[in-house]
């Protein structure tokens, strides 16, 4: 078993799926992660939505595991991901993720690499504007 830790959280009011990935992923862990991602992506019914992928602390994956993630990225893009802010702390991981996105987005790469959580939030706020969405409203009391 790998040392992977991950979460997938959907905030429909923001039209945003928040991903957190840390550690080293084995095939089974990545398959479960991708299943959760695609389940949340499908909830938008093909409509545009956003992803914040926080991959700080994630380790480089094997080719087999990378393929599983790449296939998931490609499927998510087909289901309406309009912008994905990738937050990484490793240059090598950033390059690996960029390659996966390029290979599986088929000329429609919507990835924006960011260095901080604040930068990611800004990128997503700008994406909501060009999607015609307002910035998220605070929850009602």
Q: How many domains does the chain have?
A: 1
Distances (CA, A) of 27 to 3, 17, 50, 61, 120: 12, 22, 25, 9, 28
In this structure, are residues 51 and 59 in contact, taking their beta carbons and an 8 Å threshold? no
Instruction: Report if residue 137 sits inside a domain.
Output: no
139 domain-assigned: no
Find the domain containing 107 and state its range.
5-128
Residue 32 domain-assigned (yes or no): yes
Give this prediction's pTM: 0.84
Note whether residue 35 is domain-resident: yes
User: What ranges make up the beta strands (E) of 55-110?
Assistant: 81-87
Tens digit of each residue's pLDDT, the chain (141 residues): 568 999 999 999 999 999 999 999 999 999 999 999 999 999 999 999 999 999 998 887 888 998 999 899 889 999 999 999 999 887 777 777 777 777 766 665 688 889 899 999 999 999 999 888 654 444 444
CATH number at residue 118: 3.30.750.24
């Amino acid at each position: 078993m790998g040392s992977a830790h991950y979460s997938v959280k959907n905030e429909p009011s923001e039209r945003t799926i928040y991903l957190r990935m840390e550690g080293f992923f084995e095939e089974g862990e990545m398959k479960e992660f991708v299943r959760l991602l695609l389940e949340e992506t499908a909830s938008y019914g093909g409509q545009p939505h956003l992803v914040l992928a926080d991959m700080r602390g994630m380790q480089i994956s094997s080719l087999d595991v990378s393929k599983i993630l790449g296939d998931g990225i490609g499927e998510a893009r087909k289901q309406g991901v309009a912008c994905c802010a990738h937050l990484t702390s490793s240059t090598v991981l950033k390059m690996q993720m960029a390659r996966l996105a390029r290979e599986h987005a088929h000329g429609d790469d919507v990835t924006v690499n960011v260095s901080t959580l604040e930068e990611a939030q800004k990128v997503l706020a700008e994406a909501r504007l060009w999607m015609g969405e307002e910035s998220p409203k605070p929850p009602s009391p």
